[in-house]
Every structure is written in C-alpha cells, then in structure tokens.
Amino acid sequence: MELAVILPLLIKMGCAAMVVVLASMAVERVGPVIGALIATLPVAGGPAYIILAMEHGPDFIAASTVAGFPSLIGQALYQVAYVHIAQRRGTVVSLVASLATWLCAVLLVRATGWGFPVLAPLAFAGFAAAHVWVRRHIAWSGGSVPSRRWFDLPVRAGAVMMVTGSVILLGRFAGPNLAGLVAMMPTVFTSLILILQPRIGGKNTAAVVGSGLIGMLGFTGGLTFLHLAAIPLGNVLALSGALGVCVAWNVSLLVCQRWRGRRR
C-alpha cells in the first residue's frame, strides 16, 4: 500500500487502541460510567470521517452520514442484546449474538429506504428507549479485578488495532453507503467487551456497555450535526462542530454524575 493509505490507517488504529485501553483501565479503577463515557467518544467513527473528508467533498460526507444512521440504530439493539445475554453467557456467545443482532437490525432498517428525516429521530429515540430498558442492569456488581500483568496493555492495544484495521480495510474503497455503514460499526464496544468480560465478568461488562447508551445520544447528535453542516460549512468546520457536540454531551453527563454523587 502507498503511504497515503497506510498512514491514515495507522492513525485510526492507534487512536482506537489508545481510547479502548484507557476506557478499560478506567472501568477497572473507577467503575462503568467513566469508562463508558470514554468509549462513546467518536474514536472510531471520528477518524473514519476525517479520512473520508481528506479524500472526498462535503456531498460525499453528507451522504455517508445517512448511511451511518442504520448502523447507529443497530448499535442500540446491539448494546441491549449484549447487556441481557452477558448476564448468563460467556464472551463468545454474548458477542456473536450481539453482532448478529446489530447486522440484522442494520439490514432491516436499510431495506426500508428511509432517509435522514426518519432515521435521525429514530436513532435518538432508540438510544433513549434502550437506556431505559437496561437501567436495572447497569449497576456495578463489584468483585475483585484480577491484577494486571506486564503484557496486558500491549495485548489489549494490539487486539484493538487488529479489529479496527480489519474494519477500515473492509470499507476502504467502498462508496458512501458502505463507507458510512462501516464507519459506524460498534468497533470500540466490541473491542472493550473482548478485553473486559474475561477479566471482570459478564455482569460488570454489561454495566459498562449499558452505561454507554446514554453517551451514544451525544454521538448521534454529532452525526446529525455533521450531516446538516457538511455542505453549508464544509468538511473542516462540520467535523469540528460534530466533535464539539460529542464532547460537550459527555462532559455534561460527567458533571451531572459528579453532582448527583455529591448530593448523596
């Protein structure tokens, strides 16, 4: 591959690995909420859209965001499925069933032919309803975390980079529809599940994944902003604004969580 292809690939793989490792460490130290907020930052989809913006104009970016909404709707069901299945099943069964749920939901929504005016509100409603659905499963059940060995962090980073790289290469030369779909695959949560469930168990990992549903509302807001702003503002300003929406939402959730903690 040429350097122009390899460099963006390595940047995105490195960003995703860094954030997933940080999120997993935060979960082990302070519980599911902080880890989930880190995981819901646009660390996979964000770099994917930056790479697309370097190669395509605002029209392509706006079109690709519409293709990303079915994947977001599927991710809400992916997280709900995992939270419930992981209560009793192991990592492989829980993850495979959740990914199958995501894929079926994406294909079903895409088959409807709905456009942005329907898909965006449906994504917001889906994450909000999913959060309510799994609230009773997002409490941290406690238990000791196995001590970290010297090779744990490099292995975690390597695993995330492999998953992320495979996803990027899958959609590298796709058109806007498949590119948007691949960009919104639940890569970060999949990597986080692979790392956390063998270490802290299904119920605690489910608490992390379930806690991330409310954070995904900010991600959905960022994608909505990107769709609406790409053509009038251009790629740079639209991407910057979308990132600002995601970060502002997660910061507000963190502030609210700290405020509630002080009131108790």
pLDDT in tens, 195-227: 788 878 888 888 888 888 988 999 899 999 999
User: Is 261 a member of any domain?
Assistant: no
- Which carries the bigger pLDDT value, residue 69 or residue 15? 69
CA distances from 154 to 14, 20, 63, 244 (A): 12, 12, 37, 30
pLDDT reading at 150 higher than 50 = no
Residue 263 domain-assigned (yes or no): no
Spatial contact of 5 and 51, defined as CB atoms under 8 Å apart: no
User: What's the pLDDT score for residue 185?
Assistant: 74
The mean pLDDT value for 120-146 works out to: 79
pTM over 0.85? The answer is: no
Please report whether residue 168 resides in a domain.
yes
Q: Is residue 225 part of a domain?
A: yes
pLDDT score at 198: 83
Residue 257 covered by a domain: no
- 5: pLDDT strictly greater than 80: no
Token output for 222 = 């960022």
* Arithmetic mean of pLDDT, 2-9: 56
Q: Is residue 264 part of a domain?
A: no
The predicted pLDDT at position 18 comes to 66
Q: What is the DSSP string of 16-35?
A: HHHHHHHHHHHHHHH-HHHH
Any domain includes 258? no
Higher-confidence residue of 29 and 149: namely: 29
Is residue 259 in a domain? no
| Contacting residues for 141 by C-beta, under 8 A, at least 6 apart | 201, 203, 204, 207
For the chain, percent of residues with pLDDT exceeding 90 = 24
Confidence of residue 191 (pLDDT cuts 50, 70, 90): confident
Most confident of 9-23, 44-58, 77-91, 171-185: 77-91
Checking if the pLDDT of 107 tops 70, the result is yes
Lowest pLDDT segment from 25-34, 59-68, 94-103 = 25-34
* pLDDT: which is higher, 15 or 249: 249
**Count of beta carbons in the 10 Å neighbourhood of residue 198:** 13
Overall number of domains in the chain: 1
Helix pair 152-170, 187-200: axis angle to 10 deg: 150
Residue type, 76: A
Number of neighbours of residue 160 by Cβ within 10 angstroms: 29
Q: Which domain holds residue 186?
A: 3-26+33-251
Q: How confident is the model at residue 247 (pLDDT cuts 50, 70, 90)?
A: confident
The 3 state secondary structure assigned to 38-70 is HHCCCCCHHHHHHHHHHHCCHHHHHHHHHHHHH
Burial of 27: CB neighbours in 10 Å, binned 0-12, 13-18, 19+: buried
Please, which pLDDT band fits residue 184 given cuts at 50, 70 and 90? low
